[in-house]
């Protein structure tokens, strides 16, 4: 009876698996604060994307970890930058299936469009002389990154730095370069959150200072709606709320007013907390994982980014 009347059902196609790939690695490297997750080599990345395809996942989201970092994040839009190389591998592994009748569906290949993995200071943008993030100088970098990612095969670019105007600038740049079909998943309501802690280890990055001049305050819900409205007006194809679990109210409100799909990102800290409690025997791991992700869907997410995507797909098969 509970199954019959369930209001919310998870499906593998709702889920997007974030994947990390590191330049110069020869073996995948475990991420200690995210048990079960690794930094991939280009080769194991390809295998992970194949597994995602076999599991029927809706997509993969790629993050690159460059060998060299600098103030402007120049590897972010380099033709042979690690993320561009990873995108080419991922597209190959995902296959063109799904576009051909009768074949298995291919996961959508998405790229994080942000500078924090590529800058030596760990901020999402380039810095002005006074050390604050320079919004408009960063927009040029994002436009260039998005085009480089599209050229490398990204089907969705995902600006995650919360620069004002980022969606409009990227849309123009993609259109000018002929990538009319590449979609924009906008991190619209991205909070300056403590829950991104383990991600710093995942991408070997040390953030100098904090993000409070350009990412949102946990105290503000209405502001998150305004941010989503701006991104919708600029042409976002999907709007996202991040983190997910502590912001389900914002997610619900965005879902109620958005006429494009809404995504939510269950971030590294949300993952680490459940894994740590489960490892201590303090919580039922499978129960907590499914409850947390079902709640994100119940709150209105059409698309859920979660590090548990493969495992959940296996459980709900
Ligand atoms: C920015 C970005 C982050 C995440 C997605 N895009 C890190 C951040 O904003 O600090 C993932 C967050 C997570 O899983 O903790 N490049």
Q: Which fold has domain 2-239?
A: TIM Barrel (3.20.20)
Strand stretches in the chain, DSSP E: 15-22, 29-30, 38-40, 59-65, 108-113, 156-159, 183-190, 238-242, 262-265, 303-305
47 is catalytic: no
Residue with CA nearest ligand 1 atom 8: 196
Grouping H, G, I as helix, E, B as strand and the rest as coil, residue 211 is coil
304's tokens = 């859920």
Of 129, 242, 297, 317, catalytic: 242
Q: Ligand 1: which atom is nearest the Cα of residue 190?
A: 9
> Which residue has the CA at smallest separation from atom 6 of ligand 1?
160
- Residue ranges of the domains in the chain? 2-239
> Which tens digits make up the pLDDT trace of 212-261?
888 999 999 999 999 999 999 999 999 999 999 999 999 999 999 999 99
**CA distances in angstroms from 91 to 60, 84, 113, 284, 316, listed in the order given:** 10, 11, 17, 36, 26
Residue 102's pLDDT is 64
pLDDT digit string, tens, across residues 47-90: 999 999 999 999 999 999 999 999 999 999 999 999 999 999 99
Q: Is ipTM over 0.95?
A: yes
* 200 labeled binding residue: yes
Note the pLDDT tens digit of each residue in 249-278. 999 999 999 999 999 999 999 999 999 999
Residue 227 labeled ligand binder: yes
Q: Are 44 and 28 in contact (CB under 8 A)?
A: yes
**What pTM does this model have?**
0.96
Q: How confident is the model at residue 97 (pLDDT cuts 50, 70, 90)?
A: low
End-to-end CA distance of the chain: 19
């Amino acid at each position: 009876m509970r199954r019959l009347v369930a209001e919310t059902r998870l499906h593998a196609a709702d889920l997007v698996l974030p994947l990390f790939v590191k330049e110069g690695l020869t073996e995948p490297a475990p991420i200690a604060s995210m048990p079960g997750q690794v930094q991939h080599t280009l080769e194991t990345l390809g295998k992970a994307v194949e597994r995602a395809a076999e599991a029927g996942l809706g997509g993969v989201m790629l993050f690159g970890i460059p060998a060299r970092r600098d103030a402007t994040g120049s590897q972010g839009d380099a033709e042979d930058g690690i993320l561009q190389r990873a995108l080419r591998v991922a597209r190959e592994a995902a296959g063109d299936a799904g576009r051909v009748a009768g074949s298995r569906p291919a996961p959508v290949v998405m790229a994080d469009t942000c500078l924090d993995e590529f800058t030596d200071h760990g901020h999402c943008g380039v810095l002005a002389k006074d050390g604050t993030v320079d919004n408009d100088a960063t927009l040029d970098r994002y436009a260039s990154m998005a085009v480089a990612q599209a050229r490398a095969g990204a089907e969705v670019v995902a600006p995650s730095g919360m620069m004002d105007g980022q969606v409009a600038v990227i849309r123009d740049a993609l259109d000018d370069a002929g990538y009319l079909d590449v979609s924009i998943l906008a991190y619209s309501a991205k909070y300056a959150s403590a829950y991104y802690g383990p991600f710093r280890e995942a991408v070997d990055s040390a953030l100098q200072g904090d993000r409070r001049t350009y990412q949102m305050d946990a105290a503000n819900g209405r502001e998150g709606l305004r941010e989503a409205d701006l991104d919708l007006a600029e042409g976002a194809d999907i709007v996202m709320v991040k983190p997910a679990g502590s912001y389900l109210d914002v997610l619900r409100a965005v879902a109620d007013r958005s006429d494009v799909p809404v995504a939510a990102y269950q971030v590294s800290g949300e993952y680490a907390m459940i894994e740590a409690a489960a490892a201590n025997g303090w919580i039922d791991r499978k129960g907590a994982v499914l409850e947390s992700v079902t709640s994100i869907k119940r709150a209105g997410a059409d698309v859920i980014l979660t590090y548990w995507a493969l495992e959940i797909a296996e459980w709900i098969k």
